[in-house]
Structure 1
Amino acid sequence: MPSKSSARLAALTVAAVCAASAVTLASPAHAESVRIHDIQGDTRISPYAGQQVTDVTGIVTGIRTYGSSRGFWIQDPNPDADPATSEGVFVFTGSTPQGVAVGDAVTVSGTVTEFVPGGTASGNQSLTEITRPTVTVVSRGNPVPAATRIDARSVPAAYTPAGDPAANGSVNALPLRPDRYALDLYESLEGMNVQVSDARVVGATDPYTELWVTVKPWENRTLRGGTVYGSYDDRNTGRLQIQSLGRAADFPDANVGDTLAGTTAGPLDFNQFGGYTLVAGELGTLKSKDQRRESTRRQHTGELAIATYNVENLDPSDGTFAAHADAIVRHLRSPDIVSLEEIQDNNGSTDDGTVAADETVAGLIDAIEAAGGPRYDWRSVDPADKADGGEPGGNIRQVFLFDPERVSFTDRAGGDATTAVGVAKVRGKAALTHSPGRIDPTSHAFENSRKPLAGEFVFRGRTVIVIANHFASKGGDQSLTSQYQPPSRGSETQRHLQAKAVHDFTAKVLKTQKNADVVVLGDINDFEFSTTTKILEGRDTLWSAVKSLPRSERYSYVYQGNSQVLDQILISPSIRRGGTFSYDSVHINAEFHDQISDHDPQILRFRP
């Protein structure tokens, strides 16, 4: 029954918010109207996709007034008996909705559309919407349908079914089985009002005011409260992205291990960058774990300490030099050698042909000394302009920092952007033909990507060859929530070629000197269990030392709530079999909302 206030407004027409939508206040919907669960159906694609629907009834549960996908959600308060059919749907208005409020009973007429965030080429699942809507408000102030609880008990252990081979691996046409697969459960709740309670944060708040929680507190838990991604077959079903319908300024600054205490509730959306996302109209209260940044131990006198650290597009205009210096001095304890990734040229992203990075490196070295660290020396090879990928104009590259009081660098001239380093035998020992030098810089494997940087060091009379890497990124891979299952990881193709090139170079070193100490490290952009790593390791050529850590501590990066390995240090047999090495993934960035880089540094200590 319409309220008295809504009856007085029954004839009022509200101006259209854009050419594609209009809102009116009028009489109730017709009994024969299509219901929301009919539109959603029991697969991922609506049986009404592309068709006009009339007088679809529902209660407004949330309104989005920001971003490029503005509109509101409605939910049928009278569900059917089929758990596979959602009772909620998003009404896309294109601009800020006018004339509707949460709690309004409405009827909506429009076109059912399957919107694919990121476009069809992304492989993403689609979001069922009603577009070009005409909206009629029937009554105001109705109770919002109770939120469906998402918790450890309701979310299945299996992530998703395998895709249909006849549909190129797509799951779109498969009947939903929400009692068996996590993604099917989430799809069966698409557009509905859902809630999580006392959910632990497993992905820190990012610049886009979103974070990740888990509803399964013990699912592959890290010691610090995250969720480890340790296998392609174990994708952590309890993860869920959280956004808010409120002001960005009110969104909590959360770190991994914190808790959103109480209830977080709102419509369940699907977007390009997070998949299924709870868009909260009610946001829990942040309960801080007071997570602290880790510090590793200092190396002993006879130990050589080598670290890898991705400093995320560092250039002279950045205000993070002091923070990076503090990370290296206080948290890494001033390693003897530091491989830096993503050092940009002297004017950063300005694209004017500049490739030198001496000002960038000098700024960091000065900051390290000011923080109480050693006066590092450095070596690198400038790339050819715009040949190494990364931020356009930035000319990122790897750089070696080293403490000349502890380590000496063996300089051999001739290394440049396009000259390949080789392996020679000098007095019965393996030696680099150029130091520093680049491995296969003209190879197709490193096209538009960083070339590995090789350098020869001497520590207490023992030669150590270090190879710094920054492999091709995962850009373009299909997401874990892709409609194609298992998702395609097309970016691996280039990393496999890169891994083989570095493996083969290392194998040449070891063929020349069987007991050579070789350390291969950097941002490998792939997991310790990946084929990339297996190719890099080969048969007893290298071994990823991160695997010496307990599984709950193997991560250097957090993506979509998954704590995972991207940065690695691999060692030759002489180092591994010596039994004197120690490894640490030093968690100072990836778990924190105020990170200065998105990567955690890794450090290896051993006695050559």
Structure 2
Amino acid sequence: MASSLPRTAAVSAVVAAALAAGLLAGASTSVADTTDAVRIHDIQGSTRISPLVGQRVTDVPGIVTGVRTYGSRGFWFQDPEADGDAATSEGVFVFTSSKPTVSVGDAVKVSGTVTEYVPGGLGSGNQSLTQISKPAVTVVSSGNPVPAPVAVTAASVPDAYTPEGDPAQEGSVNGLPLKPGSYALDYYESLEGANVRIGSSRVVGPSTEHGELWVTVKPGENPNRRGGTVYGSYTSQNPGRLKVQSLVPLAEQPFPTANVGDVLTGTTEGPLDFNQYGGYTLTARTLGTVQDRGLQREKTCPQHRSELAVATYNVENLDPTDPQEKFDALAKAVVENLASPDVIALEEIQDDNGAKNDGTVTAGETLRKFTDAIVAAGGPAYAWRSVDPENNKDGGEPGGNIRQVFLFNPERVSFTDRAGGDATTGTGVVKERGKAALTLSPGRIAPADAAWENSRKPLAGEFVFRGRTVIVVANHFGSKGGDESIVAHRQPPNRSSEVKRVEQAKVVNAFVKDVLAVQRNADVVVLGDINDFEFSATTQALTDGGALHAAVTSLPRSERYSYVFQGNSQVLDQILTSPGIRHFTYDSVHINAEFADQNSDHDPQVLRFRP
């Protein structure tokens, strides 16, 4: 996978940073120096940064264990004569830039410069990959047996994920001695570049178009009933997860299709890589077989005639240029899997020409196609309300102008229209006949607040169901873009994007408190793609002062998820309720995130209650 920085630039930068931080254990700073009689374990060393980084090495011996002819081209080789130190890997990657001319089983001698490459660039916060660059390779013989793989198992991977970073190095673990018997990330790092294998393992992240999937080697680790592994806190990272990617190019051999809960059976074996899209990756020279366990898409229960059903669904950049098949599949899900909710808050509805960046902001054609598809699928004739954004002011794909939209079934619920809402005019709360009412409906909440800069503004609307008013606020908070991953060199990783979401949550919380100040028992539903976990500071800010309750917490912990990221089933989409909504049923309807064939990458959420 390509870095956001040129490979040489990333290497030079990380070398300079490592030198400045004093992480090189007395190594020379000159790339002209030559180190003779070096073995691979000397290059890898017992920390994440090679003690020989920046130095030339000569005639390093080993056996080729894997060859990559796409993306970051190169090969892995391994020393069959191990040093007996569990912290030092016996394998390393050789970056050739062009298609390698060696084959698996070749005995080689490699000369070159030891470098540290940061996949994704220094700004990503990722750990670095130790490698040999600008190599000169001599093939000594061919057809040699590949060094025996290290078995990665439930017992070999520690339950603790990572040590705390060194405060003296701004929280980095780069300079800490590896403790592969104590921490999972240290264990994987001690095998970086080495030949490893896993046995039959449960799939916890579905296969993708990039030819990859996620498995767990710890089947008892935070499982859910559908086969996934649940991410329930910042310290429950699930160390048994491991990404699997084939060394064979997709054009030569299609990657198997796998859903969560399937099993990758047999033996999967190859070098252990580190890349920007998930960290430690078994690059499979030998790939097991996927055993289909028959995961089915869920269907929620229909609402009782006296219940109001409110849903949220991120439809992933829907616009009229999408194939009709996507509209039809999303519509079928609304009717058959969500049981045609009375109100649906949609996120990522794009404008009428999608990503074409020509100033178009209306989305009537997008919504007409979607609502027509719902009718064709046997659902109700939904009406809609929304507020068009200013062009390119709400983030998302440039030119797409994503926004939140309310769909509602006019045969079951009515919308209270109060004119005047636009992209820059915010709605307020007033008392009307003793009840809380919106000044604008639909209207945006505090659109000029700095919290919403380059982000979607909340959409508020006033609905009436069986004579009872319900105020609904649809949200799409800022993304996690820019956050360091859980395999970052800084531990705990920096979650910089959380700052903005917390500010957004405070604005929404204040708005709900304004409603409750006017009417203490008002029915308020806040929902959408919150882009954050149920245990996060964002959710804490939303629920501050008891103004809202995160309804997903009514589910068993193993059922709390709407999204699968790098093998972790986690909450991003939420519905929150005001104190007046005392009794409800909640369902995270799993129809997308666990499947290779997705109509969206999010699972919709449904809340049913009697206003």
Aligned partner of 2:600 in structure 1 is 597
1:306 and 2:279 correspond:
no
Contact 2:35 2:57 in 1 (8 A): no
Aligned partner of 1:237 in structure 2 is 239
Aligned partner of 1:85 in structure 2 is 88
1:377 maps to which of 363, 378, 383: 383
Aligned equivalents of 2:198, 2:508: Cα separation in 1: 46
Aligned partner of 1:171 in structure 2 is 173
Aligned equivalents of 2:36, 2:237: Cα separation in 1: 43
Aligned partner of 1:583 in structure 2 is 586
Aligned equivalents of 1:250, 1:265: Cα separation in 2: 18
Q: How does 1:130-141 map to 2 (within 5 A)?
A: 130-141=132-143
Aligned partner of 1:292 in structure 2 is 296
Aligned partner of 2:575 in structure 1 is 569
1:416 and 2:440 correspond:
no
Q: Residue type matched to 2:456 in 1? A: R
Aligned partner of 1:251 in structure 2 is 255
Aligned equivalents of 1:492, 1:414: Cα separation in 2: 32
Aligned partner of 1:18 in structure 2 is none
Contact 2:35 2:55 in 1 (8 A): no
Please identify runs of 4+ aligned residues in structure 1 that moved more than 2 A.
Answer: none
Aligned partner of 2:610 in structure 1 is 607
1:207 CA drift (Å)? 1.8
1:361 and 2:376 correspond:
no
Aligned partner of 1:223 in structure 2 is 225
Q: Residue type matched to 1:416 in 2? A: D
Contact 2:36 2:57 in 1 (8 A): no
List per-residue Cα deviations over 1:473-530 (Å, max 9, x = no partner).
0000001000000000000011011000000000000010000000000000000000
Q: How does 1:337-348 map to 2 (within 5 A)?
A: 337-348=343-354
2:438 maps to which of 425, 429, 432: 432
Aligned equivalents of 1:323, 1:359: Cα separation in 2: 18
Aligned equivalents of 1:573, 1:59: Cα separation in 2: 66
1:33 CA drift (Å)? 1.6
- Give 3-state SS (helix, strand or coil) of 2:564's partner: strand
- Give 3-state SS (helix, strand or coil) of 1:535's partner: helix
Contact 2:69 2:249 in 1 (8 A): no
How many pairs align?
Answer: 574
Aligned partner of 2:16 in structure 1 is none
1:326 CA drift (Å)? 0.5
Q: Residue type matched to 2:364 in 1? A: D
- Give 3-state SS (helix, strand or coil) of 2:545's partner: coil
Aligned equivalents of 1:435, 1:509: Cα separation in 2: 14
Q: Residue type matched to 2:610 in 1? A: R
Q: How does 1:367-406 map to 2 (within 5 A)?
A: 367-406=373-412
Q: Any gaps of 5 or more consecutive residues in structure 1? A: 1-29
Contact 2:35 2:56 in 1 (8 A): no
TM-score using structure 2 length: 0.93
- Give 3-state SS (helix, strand or coil) of 2:58's partner: strand
Q: Residue type matched to 2:97 in 1? A: G
1:207 maps to which of 199, 206, 209: 209
1:220 CA drift (Å)? 0.3
Distance 1:31 1:378, change over 3 A: closer
1:559 and 2:562 correspond:
no
Q: Residue type matched to 1:141 in 2? A: G
1:331 and 2:333 correspond:
no
1:357 CA drift (Å)? 0.1
Aligned equivalents of 1:290, 1:384: Cα separation in 2: 45
TM-score using structure 1 length: 0.94
Q: How does 1:401-480 map to 2 (within 5 A)?
A: 401-480=407-486
Aligned partner of 2:278 in structure 1 is 274
Aligned partner of 1:15 in structure 2 is none
Aligned equivalents of 1:92, 1:233: Cα separation in 2: 34
1:184 CA drift (Å)? 0.1
1:261 CA drift (Å)? 0.2
Distance 1:436 1:366, change over 3 A: same
1:370 CA drift (Å)? 0.3
- Give 3-state SS (helix, strand or coil) of 1:539's partner: helix
Q: Residue type matched to 2:425 in 1? A: T
Aligned partner of 1:34 in structure 2 is 38
1:250 CA drift (Å)? 2.4
1:32 CA drift (Å)? 5.9
Q: CA RMSD in A?
A: 1.0
Aligned partner of 1:541 in structure 2 is 547
Aligned equivalents of 1:467, 1:32: Cα separation in 2: 67
1:315 and 2:315 correspond:
no
- Give 3-state SS (helix, strand or coil) of 2:515's partner: helix
Aligned equivalents of 1:603, 1:195: Cα separation in 2: 41
Aligned equivalents of 2:257, 2:84: Cα separation in 1: 40
Percent identical among aligned pairs is 70
